[in-house]
Amino acid sequence: RTADAALRAPTFSFTVEGKSSAEIVAALTAQQIACWNGDFYAPRLLEAVDITDTTDGVVRTSMTHYNTVEEVERLVAALDSYIARRNYKMVSDIKFVLILAAVAIVIALLVLFNRNKHLSGHMGIPVDKMPIKDQRTLRVLGWAAICVFSVLILLGSFE
């Protein structure tokens, strides 16, 4: 151990938003990439940069003169892959919520039309003959449906 920068191995620390450092270390060490997590005897430094869970801390790895360019590229590729999987999971979760919203909108539209069918006493009434509050509700639900389905279509391009 020395304070002389010329004699020290370069280390770097990082976090991935929304994931614990322990999860990242587990993913990287599963690919034979040496890294650790923790506060590395600097909990006040972590607190100063708004890392509140100093036990989980940051992910830390180092490079030395015997590391190869291929090893660095493998670390970068592993991180890219991990972050891409995480983002895909987030997109999948968002899609699930939007599909639930779309189902709720369709059910609300069916209830609205069914209620007006019973009011008119036959198969249905034209939209312009519906009560004003139902016309407004129909417009809001229509725009909500357009928005939800548009976002679902856009998210489909992430696969």
Lowest mean pLDDT: which of 66-70, 77-81, 113-117? 113-117
pLDDT digits (tens, 9 = 90+) for 4-59: 766 777 788 999 888 899 999 999 999 999 999 999 999 999 999 999 898 999 99
Task: Tell me which residue of 61, 14, 62 sits closest to 36, measured CA to CA.
Answer: 61
Torsion of CA 68, 69, 72, 76, to 10 degrees: -160
Extents of the domains making up the chain? 5-67, 87-156
pLDDT digits (tens, 9 = 90+) for 45-64: 999 999 989 899 999 998 87
Compute the distance between CA of residue 123 and CA of residue 112 in angstroms, rounded to an integer. 13
Looking at residue 65, its amino acid is: H
Report CA-CA distances (Å) from 47 to 11, 74, 101: 19, 30, 39
Give the rounded distance of the alpha carbon of 115 from its chain centre: 39
Contact 42, 59 (CB under 8 A): no
The predicted structure's pLDDT at residue 33: 94
Report CA-CA distances (Å) from 112 to 34, 91, 126, 142: 60, 31, 13, 12
How many CA atoms are closer than 13 Å to the CA of 159, on its beta-carbon side? Answer: 7
pLDDT digits (tens, 9 = 90+) for 99-157: 777 777 777 777 766 666 655 555 555 666 666 777 777 777 777 777 777 776 766 65
3-class DSSP state of 64: coil
Give the rounded distance of the alpha carbon of 119 from its chain centre: 45
| Model confidence at 1: pLDDT above 90 | no
The neighbour count for residue 90, using CB atoms within 10 Å, is: 12
Q: Which tokens in the block code for residue 76?
A: 């970068």
